[in-house]
Amino acid sequence: MLKYLLKRIIWMIPMLIGISLISFFIMHLAPGDITSNESAFNPKASEESRQKLRKMYDLDKPIIVQYGLWLKRIIKLDFGSSFASHQRPVLWEEKDKNGNIKPGLIQKALPITLLINLLTIFLIFSISIVLGTIAAVRKNKIPDRMITLFVFVGFAIPGFWLALLLMYSLGVSNQILPISGLHSIGYEQMSPITQFIDMLKHLILPVFISCLSGLAGISLYVRNGMIEILNQDFIKTARAKGLYEKKVIFVHTLKNALLPLITILGLSIPGLIGGSVIAESIFAIPGMGKLFYDAVLMRDFPVVMGILTIGSILTLLGNLIADLSYAWADPRIRRGLTK
Amino acid sequence: MRLILTSILFICLFGCNKSQIEDVNFDEEASQESGGTLTNAMIGEPNNLIAMIAGDGASSLIAGQIFNSLLKYDENLEFEGDLAESWEISEDYKTIKFNLKVQKKWSDNHPITCKDVLFTWKAVTHPDTRTPYGSDYQLVSSAQCINDYQFIAKYKEPYAPALETWASLHILPEHLLKNEDINNTYFSLNPVGSNYYSLDSWVTGQQLKLKGNPNAVHGKPLIDNKVSRIIPDLSSQFMELIAGNIDLMSINPIQYSRVFPNRPELNKKINLYKEMGNGYTYFGFNLKKRPFDDINVRKAISLAIDRQEIIDGVLLGLGEEITSPYKPGTYWENKNIKKLSFNPEKAKELLENSGYRLNNNIYEKDGIPLSFEILTNQNKQREMTAVLIQRRLQDIGIDASIRVIEWASFVNRFIKTGEFQAVVLGWSLSLDPDQYSIWHSSQQGPGQFNFIGYSNKTVDNLLEKGRQELNKEKRKAIYNDFSSILYDDQPIIYLYAGYGLSAIHKKIKGVKKLSPPAGIYHNDYEWFVPNKFRRNEMSL
């Protein structure tokens, strides 16, 4: 088992180098760099000063040299600073000589995105399991049809559209929920409890919108898994020996049907740090999606590469965790691994 | 996208019943009261509050409220002193002497002196400073302080836009920055300035709060606090506006002329303002390529395009035609130019004069059909403009196709390399008439701004003369000549200058109904929020 784990982890290193190489080159193949975007059509900004900037950022060097420089830094876990004029560190805050702290970009954006995504995934899985189970038990009857219709409508509705409608009806017409942002004005002066409620109120709409499109996939997974298992012989046996239907469904069927969900859960780990650009823009949430999107448009290479690197590490780790937990949950696979 | 969103908004607006009754009458007159908070929204977060380093609009918007320059524009766009009390220009136009206001202080109570000005000039011209704006100030051959309150800048050659450059350079405090690396200093996130406001707090990605600066050079503003929320999406901003959570925003023509007129309850609490915007949109040609090297072709295209149709279609009528690259209604606008009006017959005639003949409804010459590609970036208004142009050109027998490209690719793959035929793009309407970097024939290198390849000896001469002439009337004559030649040559076709549209909550008093040339926000230090209309900030 340990040998297997070591092998998997060592394999990650060449994979990571490969991923970073490809993303670095693709990023640099896109036309333009930060200097041409910040002031491309500002007649007051001269071409000489742009050349000067290019030199300062090493953008005038051959691409392979630039990759080498980047790799050298990243091995020391130094993600560098953004090319944008705020020059904030990509990953974590830095102190200058006077003790002033410059906050890191990912450090500020990640907790918000993580919070929203964890809430979303938790809700998607719990609602989907309930819906999928009901649909499977009532296969092809009205509840099943209604649930399928509902999750597909949720899947098909454009999120930004529904978001605007909800913002209008709940935020403008009836001022029940805040429209956008993470905190209200005056948040600093609130007591911890009101702060928590305020934050929660701001999260309701974004989390609801992110959940809606995810329900369809998972609930159908659960439904089909349940149906498949309900048709198997051991369920017939269970029923034949006179078990209560509740026990048949919740203990024997559901437990088996949930196994494939572990893989999906593992694979959603990298998704935890990726935010949705559209939802974040509409709800004015300063998360990872907007950070990455803006960095790509600005050709802010250190930020793009920083997020991609962290994303790929998490993807590989997610795969590993999915495999391991699968083995933990299913003895048949565990036996296969140790052989 | 915006259109779809707005139409959906419509459905929603009429679908939902508004039950609330608002009995506050915001039209009531009120006497000046200081205090209160103004909340607005920005689509992006400022990068760096040292404006010479930052390149983005949000930064200069915030930095402009914190820092002063030596000069500023008054409401009629004439220069007036900002940090300078007065200024003198020598007979030979080569020396400018600024007399600073005495006994003024930074917001940290340190006195403002000439040392700060000199320090700022040294910083902006230093080769290691990461600023794109250095070149204007490098023309100053020597700068010195005579005493604490007299600053002298000497130029090798007379430089007419000099005053404008001193009006756009924020003076920075030497005592806080002399030992700092200006490119990467904490000061850029926590500045100390001299203007109406100083930074109170900044929550990354969410909001930035300014508070009145008690040491402000021009005295304390009436509104105590300004909160700028960061809301990237304009539809969300609009929701916040009509819900009363933000007090002002710029709106688009659809909101201005379709949403507001249909919603009387919005007009009860929000005022709309219309003023000339700061830029114009044009249709430009690559003059180095066939067929655009032929002036008849350019004129024919110009005659074939119906500009009013574009203004009506794209801006819903909220824009103006221009004939010179200066803001309509300002001193530098050339009012004597006769507009080319829509005339497809004349256009065909011009093409035929140049030897073009119709073949299958498309003009051709020497067997080459008159067809080209119009390039533009992802900007809804420009895309719609290109479509209207395409149709009008098709009517007279010119075949145009449209290609829309992401900004960075657009600049680097097409504009810089000169691999384009025609573009729909925009320039800003500058306050100083100097247009050297856009029209002088020497400015055609990669990355420079005369990328369309315009070269005209007379125009070159005029531009050079205009840069050295500091007498206002003589300068006006030079730029009048320049803009008429430019209009005769039609190297680009001016399409429209759109209005800037703002929506401001009625509880903000002191906003001028008729906006001065310098714009509606010019007197925002005189704006105030009467106590009875202030929102309870804790309850929000």
Contacts of A233 (CB under 8 A, 6+ apart): none
Mean pLDDT of B332-356: 89
Q: pLDDT band at B278, cuts 50/70/90? A: confident
| Facing residue for B408 by CB, picked from A30, A81, A283 | A30
Note whether ipTM > 0.95 here: no
For position B539, what pLDDT does the model report? 38
Average pLDDT, chain B: 87
Residue A108 and residue B205: Cβ atoms within 8 Å?
Answer: yes
For position B519, what pLDDT does the model report? 85
Between residues A91 and B71, the one the model is more confident about: B71
What is the rounded CA–CA span in Å between residue B263 and residue B281?
A: 31
Residue A32 and residue B412: Cβ atoms within 8 Å?
Answer: yes
Q: How many CB atoms lie within 10 A of CB B387?
A: 16
For residue A99, give the chain B residue with the closest CA: B186
Residue B206, pLDDT above cutoff 50: yes
Q: Which residues of A touch B186 (CB under 8 A)?
A: 96, 98, 100, 102
Domain topology for B279-498: Dipeptide-binding Protein; domain 3 (3.10.105)
Q: Do B469 and B456 touch, CB atoms closer than 8 A?
A: no
Q: Which residues of A touch B17 (CB under 8 A)?
A: 173
Mean pLDDT of B247-270: 89
**Block residue for tokens 């315009």:** B454
Mean pLDDT of A190-211: 88
Q: pLDDT band at B312, cuts 50/70/90? A: very high
Residue B132 and residue A297: Cβ atoms within 8 Å?
Answer: no
**Block residue for tokens 């379709």:** B258
Residue A31 and residue B207: Cβ atoms within 8 Å?
Answer: no
Residue B12, pLDDT above cutoff 60: no
Distance set, CA B425 to CA A106, B379, B402, B488 (Å): 35, 10, 13, 20
Residue B236 and residue A41: Cβ atoms within 8 Å?
Answer: no
Residue A181 and residue B229: Cβ atoms within 8 Å?
Answer: yes
Phi, psi (rounded to 5 degrees) for A76: -85, 15
Residue B384, pLDDT above cutoff 90: yes
| Facing residue for B408 by CB, picked from A87, A103, A299 | A299
Residue B47 and residue A44: Cβ atoms within 8 Å?
Answer: no
| Facing residue for B136 by CB, picked from A44, A286, A299 | A44
**Block residue for tokens 């020996």:** A241
Please tell me the distance in Å from B410's CA to the nearest CA on chain A: 9
Please tell me the distance in Å from A21's CA to the nearest CA on chain B: 22
Q: Which residues of B touch A36 (CB under 8 A)?
A: 408, 411-412, 416, 447
| Facing residue for B189 by CB, picked from A36, A102, A184 | A102
Distance set, CA A84 to CA A35, B59, B124 (Å): 9, 12, 18
Distance of CA B120 to the CA centre of its chain: 24
Please tell me the distance in Å from A51's CA to the nearest CA on chain B: 10
Residue A81 and residue B416: Cβ atoms within 8 Å?
Answer: no
Q: Which residues of A touch B247 (CB under 8 A)?
A: none
Terminal CA-CA length for chain B: 31
Please tell me the distance in Å from B297's CA to the nearest CA on chain A: 27
Residue B121, pLDDT above cutoff 90: yes
Give the model confidence (pLDDT) of B131-159 as tens digits: 778 888 888 999 999 998 999 999 998 89
Question: Closest by alpha carbon to B372, among B363, B382, B381, B361?
Answer: B363
Angle subtended by helix axes A159-166 and A192-230, to nearest 10: 140
Mean pLDDT of B53-72: 88
| Facing residue for A290 by CB, picked from B56, B135, B232 | B232
What is the rounded CA–CA span in Å between residue B225 and residue B4?
A: 36
For residue B236, give the chain A residue with the closest CA: A282
What is the rounded CA–CA span in Å between residue B388 and residue B390?
A: 5
Q: pLDDT band at A249, cuts 50/70/90? A: confident
| Facing residue for B236 by CB, picked from A37, A167, A189 | A167
| Facing residue for B48 by CB, picked from A43, A86, A161 | A86
Residue A173 and residue B19: Cβ atoms within 8 Å?
Answer: yes
Q: Are strands B225-230 and B37-42 parallel, antiparallel or unpaired?
A: parallel
Residue A185 and residue B207: Cβ atoms within 8 Å?
Answer: yes
Residue B188 and residue A86: Cβ atoms within 8 Å?
Answer: yes
Residue B21, pLDDT above cutoff 70: no
Give the model confidence (pLDDT) of A257-314 as tens digits: 888 888 788 778 777 777 778 888 888 888 888 888 888 888 888 888 888 888 888 8
Domain ranges of chain B: 24-43+196-276+507-533, 66-175, 279-498
Q: pLDDT band at B14, cuts 50/70/90? A: very low
Given the candidates 3.90.76.10, 3.20.20.10, 3.10.450.350, 3.30.2310.20, the CATH classification of the domain at B66-175 is 3.90.76.10
Cβ pairs bridging A and B (under 8 Å):
183
What is the rounded CA–CA span in Å between residue B162 and residue B153?
A: 10
Contacts of A157 (CB under 8 A, 6+ apart): A212, A213
Residue A85 and residue B48: Cβ atoms within 8 Å?
Answer: yes
Give the model confidence (pLDDT) of A182-193 as tens digits: 888 777 778 888
Interface test with A, best of B226, B377, B412 (most A CBs within 10 A): B412
CATH superfamily of B24-43+196-276+507-533: Periplasmic binding protein-like II (3.40.190.10)
Give the model confidence (pLDDT) of A127-171 as tens digits: 998 898 888 888 888 888 999 898 899 889 888 889 899 988 888
Q: Do B68 and B193 touch, CB atoms closer than 8 A?
A: yes
Q: How would you class B8 by CB atoms within 10 Å of its CB: exposed for 0-12, middle for 13-18, buried for 19 or more?
A: middle
